[in-house]
Chains A and B, each alone.
Chain A
Amino acid sequence: MSQQLVFRSKDDHTFLLSGLDDFLMGLVAEIPKAATPGSGAEKRIFPQPTAGADEEADAEWETFVRPDLEEQFEFNRDRVALDLKSVRHAGKIGFEMEIPAANLPAWIHALNQARLCLSAAHNLGEKELESSARLHGPSGIAIFQIQFYGILQEWMLAVTKDI
């Protein structure tokens, strides 16, 4: 990668993410999809509040609370998808995009959703995520994706007081 990946404040209301090559741009564009829980991630994204200790309470949670959570997660994904429309190719420095400061919490949460969905779908635990030896195959790409999203999340958390 020749260009340098940069996340910086553009003005009081906008941040700029730039220096994305084709591969990293592809990963950024994939955030909304990666943050959508498939069947492999349902259990992690929608855990039971009593972990099975009170079946009635867990069932009520599924009925009454889960729809609100789904709506919340969808809102974050939609906000990111909307901001992705500002992506433009900036010549040699690769792709860049603007992110309104007000949308950073949605980005932070969507990145978190994506990281959790990917780790659940690929059954990645602490051992796999801390090891760099398995960066091959679908699991390797997922590990890279999780780490890359983690870097973006850290950068955004560093400039955001209120999430």
Chain B
Amino acid sequence: MANLSIIRNAGVDLPDIEVRDSVSTDLPWNVVVHNDPVNLMSYVTKVFVKVFGFSEAKAKKHMLEVHQKGRSIVWSGARERAEFYVQQLHGYLLLSTIEKNS
């Protein structure tokens, strides 16, 4: 949200407007994939290629990050799109969540 106090202090008349805090919705959202001991590495890699259109190498990099670090941020952006991706990942039974990018 822009800081309007500078303009007010400069003597500029501003119309009465309703200002809403839209910071929370504007923040990028992360799609996070979490590790689980059952999904096969080859399966997870193929799902990343299918859902995000990643190259094989990029898909493998994220798969290994999930495996070794327990989670990987596979996509960031608007919430609606993030939810769409999580729905796709849940359809493939990958443990995934959306998180606000802090």
Contact = CB atoms under 8 A, between A and B. Distances in A.
Query: How many interface residues does chain A have, given as a range?
Result: 20 to 34
B74 interface: no
Interface stretch (A9-17, A19-27, A90-98, A111-119): A111-119
Given A112-B43, A163-B47, A163-B50, A119 B99 contact: no
Contacts of B50: 162-163
Given A53-B99, A65-B87, A153 B38 contact: no
Q: Looking at chain A's contact residues, is the secondary structure mostly helix, strand, loop, or mixed?
A: helix
B88 to A, nearest CB: 10
B76 interface: no
B43 to A, nearest CB: 6
B101 interface: no
Interface string A93-129: 0000000000000001100110110010000111001
Interface of B: 36-40, 42-43, 46-47, 50, 83, 86-87, 90-93, 95-99
